Structure 1
Amino acid sequence: MKRGDIRPPRWATRLLHWYCRAEIVEDLEGDLNEYFQRHARSKGIGRARLIYVIDVFKFFRSYTVRKPNFVDLLIQWIMIGSYIKTSGRSIVRHKLFSAINIAGLAVSMSVGLVVIVFISDLMSYDSFHEKRDRIYRVITTNGSMVCASTSVVAGKKIDETLSGIEALTLLRRGFGGDVTAGPATLPISGLWADASFFKVFTFPLLYGDPATVLKEPYSLVLTEQSAKKIFGVTDVLGRSVKVDTLNYVITGVMKDIPKLSHLRFESLASFSTVELQKPDTDGGFMSWGSLYMNYVYLVLQKDSDPSVLQTSLDKISAAENRGLVDSKISLSLQPLADIAIGKKLVNQIGPVMNSAAIWILAGLAAVVILSACFNYTNLSVARAFRRSREVGIRKIIGAGKGHVMGQFLMESVIISLMALVVSFLLFLFLRTQFISLHSFLENLAVLKLTPGIVLSFIAFAIAVGIAAGIIPALLFSRINPNKVLKDASTLKLFRHVNLRKGLIVVQYFFSLIFITSTLVGYKQYSSFLAFDLGFTTENILNINLQGNSANAVIKELKELPEVEGASQSLIVMSLGHIYGLPMKYEKTNDSAGVWLNIIDEHYLPLHRHTLLAGKNFTPKQEGATESETIVNERLLKRFNIANSDPAKAIGEEVTIDGKKLTIVGVVKDFHYETVEDNIEPMAFRYFANTNYGFVNVKINSHDLPATRARIEEAWRKVDKVHPLDAKFYDDQIEQAYSAFSMMLKVIGFLAFLAVCISSMGLFGMVVFTTETRLKEISIRKVLGASEGKLIVLLSKGFILLLSIAAGIALPITYLFFDKVVLANFVYHDPIGWPEMLIGFLSVMAIAFLMVGSQTFKVARSNPAEVLKRE
């Protein structure tokens, strides 16, 4: 392109002429063109055009916009009324095609409405805080691990040394226990928080002074709901309660926390209480590396720059890291708005939705909506012959391109708004179904309707209507009235048959990807649930001890005839819960982190772990010194213990968390984490005096509800405060993969919608095609063509399009699962062609039913009747 031919975007210039006052438009356009040429030389053509467009919008000011002409406005309103009336008549006249379009758009838009409300909820998280735009959380990076938590030291250093901070608060997880108020004892949970908590966050207090409620040690702030739970009333200021063994004074009662808050708690206890209970020498509470329980939030001053503050954080990290040997810790700021929508961090507080998952969900919904828009485009273009004369007459009597476009866009928008009414009813049903898909979603969103949401629904429907009608509107606006009224067969729209075919292929391409992904994913999900973990989980009930004595619970359970055996464990494995500590092998001076579980001598037999060498733990009396460990095969390989020979490894010594332990047994490798993870080095430890997390009970019963009732009765003999928290191992494994199951349900539902919408569009296309080819079919029948040949003739084109869509979709789906999705799952079943072909054959059967039913009807028509009408 020559330099003299470079011009700004024409549509932007036309927009400038449309809104700008006549007396200044020439000068303004000249100035903008002069700037455009200057930017084109210095910054390039692309950036120059972008700047030109921005400037055109920027000059849309009160002093540049022309005053509206009353007559023009009146004419425009009359034209809009005409558009609405004509569109209504067209919709009523073509009932079948209108019904197909309304149904397709309604079904697809209902999904869009759910996504809109869901994203609106996520965007509204923590929006009730007055200083939300200036609130940041200090997060910690330690090697490859990024934590939402940080150390108390970091919080105090920032508060003492950094300028530009308006307020800072320290929080700590772990407050809670059994609250005793009078004769009642109830469980309660919460956070430790310092005196500045209410300076950072906007949680209104019903009773108490926000500046002092958390100042003194043993101060307690309750939410409105927790106050009612404990006392039955909310005005409880000054009352005393006992939490486990400590007495607290209630200094404040706050309003209940909004659902869309990442901070959720029943109570707040003063942080100064923790400092009294845990002095500097106690377990490194005040050490730089103690960063897994504490959280720091701060409010920047209005003129503060977060990037400048980051430089100061780097200096603090550099100074404190001098005392570390094996790791380097760095601090950074996370805006409050990025907590609920962002990457899930270690020790995250509150629910988090990955932004990538939101984009995927929105993208899937957009695909379904576009499929319905393609239906509208296809059917509108297919009816070109019938509507071309209407457009030609309109143009003859003076309608311009803009009027024709307005007419067709108005028609598509009206259909979209009609579909919105139906989709809103579907939305009310889908909203509850979506929330109930997973407990995570119930905890994450409310999907509440507001006036702003309703307005966004209307705007969304208008946008969908414009998207659906823009291509037909553009094509019809270019019709030459002289040619179309003389011979409609010369209409250029008939050249767009490949466009219609391409849209059908795209529709079924996405439909096949959805349905095939569902089938492949379901097979993998089923294989995860039935996977051989290396130990048994059948009929094992895991009971959360909730701080009770394991021996006391087991004693009561052994009185039940249905209980075959019981063991103790710190964690329940193969669910994704992990616990690890550093281990060192002295002979090679090699050290690394290993996964651990603390068990008793009954655990391995109860779960049927395979002991390759050595023996089980030796029972010890309470208070005995820990001296033994049992390891898996992978640990021997990782540390090269006895050349990985299980028999020779017996008697070797290792150091775990500073304690020397003797290997007394080696178990066959099993899945400590979920199936998607590699088998890692793992060790069992045995503590005779540990409060274990769970009791594992082997059940043999033909009446599980009755057995559970007896177990609950035995539990109440030990703990009258906490309800029984017990789940069967197999149910817990199913729950561990529930996110995968939830995604399958979503994709499966979208697959169903996509196939339905595509099939409705195909049905409309078949109806139209067969109607327009009645004369041809009749002549062929007169010349001797059989009904079977006519069905093949009419349907082969559509079947070919579906085959093309399958030829593209199936390999892409296979590669996507093989190289992307299942690449993250170390142990998975190979993808088989049966599940790939089932989806294709199912869609083909539905499509053939749609095509065959109509073509059979036309093929059996009486040619004499048809030709007589011609």
Structure 2
Amino acid sequence: MLSQSLKTAWRQLARNKAFSLINILGLALGMACSLLIFLWVKDESSVDTFNTKATIYDVYERVFSEGKVEAGPNTPGPLAEELKRKIPEIKFASGYVNRGEETVLSVGDKRIALNGCHADSDFFKLFSYPLLAGSAASALLGPADIAVSRKTAELFFGSAAAAYGQTIRLNNSKDFKITAVFENVPANASQHFEFVANWADVLQNISWLKEWIYRTPYTYIQLRPGADAKRVEAKIKDFITPYIRTGDGQGYRLELGLQRFDEMYLNGVFRNGAPDGGRSDYVRLFSLVAIFILLIACINFMNLATARGIKRAKEVGIRKTIGARRVRLIGQFIGEAMLLTFIAVVIALGLVALLLPAFNQLSGKQIVLPIASPFFWLAIVGLMVVTGFVAGSYPALFLSSLNPVKVLKGALRFGPGALLMRKGLVVFQFVLSIVMITGTIVIAQQMRYVQTKNLGFDRENLVYIPFQGDLGNKFQLFRQQLVGMPGIKGVTMNTNAPSRISTHVYNMDWEGKRPDERVVAIHNGVGYDYLDMMNIKVIRGRGFSRDFPADTAKTHFLINETLLKITDWKNPIGKRMSFFDFQGTVIGVVKDFHLKSLRDPIEPLVLYFGEKEGWGGVLVKTKSGETRQALASMESVFKQAEPQFPFRYFFSDEQYQQLYNGEATVSKLSNGFSVLAIFISCLGLLGLTLFTAEQRRKEIGVRKVIGASVGNIVTMLSKDIVQLVLLSAVIATPVAWLAMHQWLQNFAYRITIAWWIFFVAGVLALLIALATIGYQALKAALANPVRALRSE
């Protein structure tokens, strides 16, 4: 019986090649698209789930200030050690600092720049990084201990075993003993590093990390068995308050909270003082997109199968007359759907394998097709069964319910309910498609806005060279040698890379400050010519100048407009201000400019003279069109100043673009998925047009006989489709507005959703729909009316 059913199904597919091709193509594209999305979702959801030890928590900090609450994962440097010492429920604790810049490692004459981090001795007890040499208990115990990855060990010593116990030098300044070799960090980790140096080293090099008022490191903890995370969180809520010195934080309210480490990647956005979404929003969004696209493909199948059902009505009538039961007929039609779905699955897998490299490049992933995983094949079989059943159930139930007497008499007529069902499905398809088109346009507009908005400074032709070795102390000589060389327009310095400033002031005081005022500001050390080179406007007073030697003593400050509004000074020049151990006066006010992503509002800012700091980097302005010559000049001078280090540089505009990598990926994926959704929806329109033309075949013949033109017939067949698309646009508009309005709330600076976006989306959908149905409508209008009427 099964073999007979398969033979019948195959004959039906072979007999109706065009119908079968459209159905298989629609299902294959829908499945391929959904598979790609689900692979991406699975990869995103697997990030940081590699840890097999007890649950790890990240300690984050909430700062209450100016009636607002802000939160983030950065905490004071001493926090990990103090938590472990004072809270008995905490078993292991470690600070973690990854500065995001490569460090030069050297053994003998071999030097390689690699990314690394600093952590406490509990680090390998906390995390499940397999050790190839050494033990978690002994790794990083001493101040000069270091753990390296398999890759690092093989690069310098040939193997993990050979590297263990050897000496390796960091930044040509300090020797470390390799006390552990760990397996390379897995691809599904959010933080990648090639070595872990002892925490004592970073405290020695960055002494302010010892202070409670500064916040840079992450703090990770593991609780003892049986300890309740909620109770521990309540216990440490006010832990940090006693450690803030009276002069450093009076009036501030600081709290600590806990977030699971494996949830940080997906929920890295903090709102109202707590983790609240982030990449998880995109995971949910694209999961819905995958389901919707698959639904659109299934709806196409239903429409096309039902349209073809007219030609199979007599087959159903004859089979019922000779005794076929409805269950058997339902099984036959669902079997045909399953066969179609199986073929579509095979094609979809081929498409996924073909498109995966391009998809990885687009999404920045390293996804592979998990063909060796039994769960993957179970999922594929499940997808095939569910899709086949959903796609085939309505046609099967509909066709098997036909009255054989009416069918064989030729009196078959589909009621308004059946037609309404199919129209409703098409409306549903186009609502989803128009929402996706609208979303694509809004995302593209916002991305164009953040890329072209005037940030208040000129980021074009701006190169940042991080200080390495002793370059910070040699900056003046480096600048003098570089000025005037080919391609160089200007040279200054900055204690933070442009668009990467995150150092905050928590203890700011100023003349006239009310006792209850609480302000958190960012600070940045800059050199002479910084304002002119960045094209930052001074609206009050002056900038730092070589004509005023006192500017170098950290007693003169520049503030931005946002901070000026908070101080409420009418005349800020000469007003007293202090923060940390800096005390001085304001010499100027600069126009507000964006140092961070446009997701964040402009923060209060203090600039001080930083050329004597010895940390940060060099900012070089190159002449337009002479970037290559400028880079050659920079490299030659750098190699003279620090021959032991590789020349590294970053373009400011590229670093700015990296702030929006997530949104850029979403924009690209949305473009592709919207095109696919529209294409698959158009197949649904084709199905409805086929059904309508088939239903009204005799009517069309009669109309042509009594003189109706081809244009009249095409208009008649197209009118209903136009109405459906217009209805879809009306329904989709508020849905799309709500979805995009919510998405735009992630940006402090954003576009206004213009009315024309919805108009363009609707018109575009209508034009595509008309192009899709035009050929079929024209074909029906040009058909010979004799063939339609000969049965009369």
Partner of 1:220: 146
Paired residue secondary structure (1:386): coil
Q: Kindly indicate whether the alpha-carbon contact (under 8 Å) linking 2:252 and 2:518 is maintained by their aligned counterparts in 1.
A: no
- C-alpha change, 1:298 and 1:456, in structure 2 (3 Å) is same
- Separation in 2 of the partners of 1:118 and 1:246? 42
The partner residue of 1:506 within 428, 442, 450 is 428
Deviates more, 1:739-748 or 1:516-525: 516-525
Partner of 1:374: 299
- Separation in 2 of the partners of 1:703 and 1:138? 46
AA partner of residue 379 (structure 1): L
Deviations 1:427-473 (A, max 9, x none): 1233222322254x46xx66654323243223222222222223223
* CA positional deviation for 1:641: 0.8
- C-alpha change, 1:471 and 1:826, in structure 2 (3 Å) is same
- Bigger relative CO (Cα 8 Å, ≥ 6 apart): 2
Partner of 1:596: 523
The partner residue of 1:90 within 2, 12, 29 is 12
* CA positional deviation for 1:508: 1.3
The partner residue of 1:569 within 494, 499, 516 is 494
Residues 1:802 and 2:686 are matched in the alignment? no
The partner residue of 1:455 within 369, 378, 383 is 378
Deviations 1:753-787 (A, max 9, x none): 01111112212332343244333222212211122
Deviations 1:617-654 (A, max 9, x none): 13266994211112222222211112xxxxx3211122
Correspondence list, 1:349-388, <5 A: 354-388=279-313
- C-alpha change, 1:805 and 1:413, in structure 2 (3 Å) is same
Correspondence list, 1:412-561, <5 A: 412-439=337-364, 441=365, 449-451=371-373, 452-481=375-404, 484-485=407-408, 489=412, 495-546=417-468, 548-549=471-472, 550-561=475-486
Partner of 1:790: 713
Partner of 2:673: 750
Paired residue secondary structure (1:649): coil
Paired residue secondary structure (1:410): helix
Partner of 1:311: 231
- Separation in 1 of the partners of 2:494 and 2:201? 31
* CA positional deviation for 1:262: 4.1
- C-alpha change, 1:844 and 1:585, in structure 2 (3 Å) is same
- Separation in 2 of the partners of 1:677 and 1:213? 40
Partner of 2:758: 836
- Separation in 2 of the partners of 1:640 and 1:543? 37
Paired residue secondary structure (1:641): coil
Residues 1:634 and 2:562 are matched in the alignment? yes
* CA positional deviation for 1:612: 1.9
- C-alpha change, 1:390 and 1:839, in structure 2 (3 Å) is same
Q: Name the larger-Rg structure.
A: 1
- Separation in 2 of the partners of 1:825 and 1:162? 38
Deviates more, 1:688-697 or 1:409-418: 688-697
Partner of 1:404: 329
- Separation in 2 of the partners of 1:168 and 1:90? 67
Deviates more, 1:122-131 or 1:496-505: 122-131
- Separation in 2 of the partners of 1:98 and 1:424? 18
* CA positional deviation for 1:594: 1.9
Q: Kindly indicate whether the alpha-carbon contact (under 8 Å) linking 1:483 and 1:491 is maintained by their aligned counterparts in 2.
A: no
Correspondence list, 1:707-722, <5 A: 707-722=630-645
- C-alpha change, 1:789 and 1:480, in structure 2 (3 Å) is closer
AA partner of residue 170 (structure 1): S
Residues 1:120 and 2:42 are matched in the alignment? yes
Deviations 1:539-572 (A, max 9, x none): 3333333453333442343242321212222234
Sequence identity of aligned pairs in percent? 28
Partner of 1:170: 94
Partner of 1:242: 169
- Separation in 1 of the partners of 2:490 and 2:324? 87
- Separation in 1 of the partners of 2:48 and 2:667? 30
Partner of 1:207: 133
* CA positional deviation for 1:803: 1.4
Deviations 1:408-441 (A, max 9, x none): 22222221221112211221233222322254x4
TM-score, normalised via structure 2 length? 0.87
* CA positional deviation for 1:503: 1.0
Deviates more, 1:848-857 or 1:666-675: 666-675
- Separation in 1 of the partners of 2:606 and 2:545? 16
Instruction: Specify which structure has the higher proportion of helix.
Output: 1
Partner of 1:858: 780
- Separation in 2 of the partners of 1:336 and 1:616? 44
Q: Kindly indicate whether the alpha-carbon contact (under 8 Å) linking 1:516 and 1:835 is maintained by their aligned counterparts in 2.
A: yes
- C-alpha change, 1:721 and 1:855, in structure 2 (3 Å) is farther
The partner residue of 1:183 within 91, 109, 112 is 109
- C-alpha change, 1:481 and 1:788, in structure 2 (3 Å) is closer
Q: Kindly indicate whether the alpha-carbon contact (under 8 Å) linking 2:170 and 2:176 is maintained by their aligned counterparts in 1.
A: yes
- C-alpha change, 1:353 and 1:456, in structure 2 (3 Å) is farther
Q: Kindly indicate whether the alpha-carbon contact (under 8 Å) linking 1:208 and 1:251 is maintained by their aligned counterparts in 2.
A: yes
* CA positional deviation for 1:752: 0.3
* CA positional deviation for 1:585: 1.8
Deviations 1:244-275 (A, max 9, x none): 43322222323222212345321233457678
Residues 1:760 and 2:683 are matched in the alignment? yes
Q: Kindly indicate whether the alpha-carbon contact (under 8 Å) linking 2:121 and 2:198 is maintained by their aligned counterparts in 1.
A: yes
Partner of 1:47: none
Paired residue secondary structure (2:583): strand
Deviations 1:181-223 (A, max 9, x none): 2122333443444555444433333333443343344222221
Partner of 1:5: none
- C-alpha change, 1:313 and 1:837, in structure 2 (3 Å) is closer
- C-alpha change, 1:539 and 1:586, in structure 2 (3 Å) is same
* CA positional deviation for 1:801: 1.0
Task: In structure 2, list runs of 5 or more residues that go unmatched.
Answer: 64-68, 245-249, 272-276
Q: Kindly indicate whether the alpha-carbon contact (under 8 Å) linking 1:138 and 1:150 is maintained by their aligned counterparts in 2.
A: no
TM-score, normalised via structure 1 length? 0.80
Q: Kindly indicate whether the alpha-carbon contact (under 8 Å) linking 1:170 and 1:297 is maintained by their aligned counterparts in 2.
A: yes
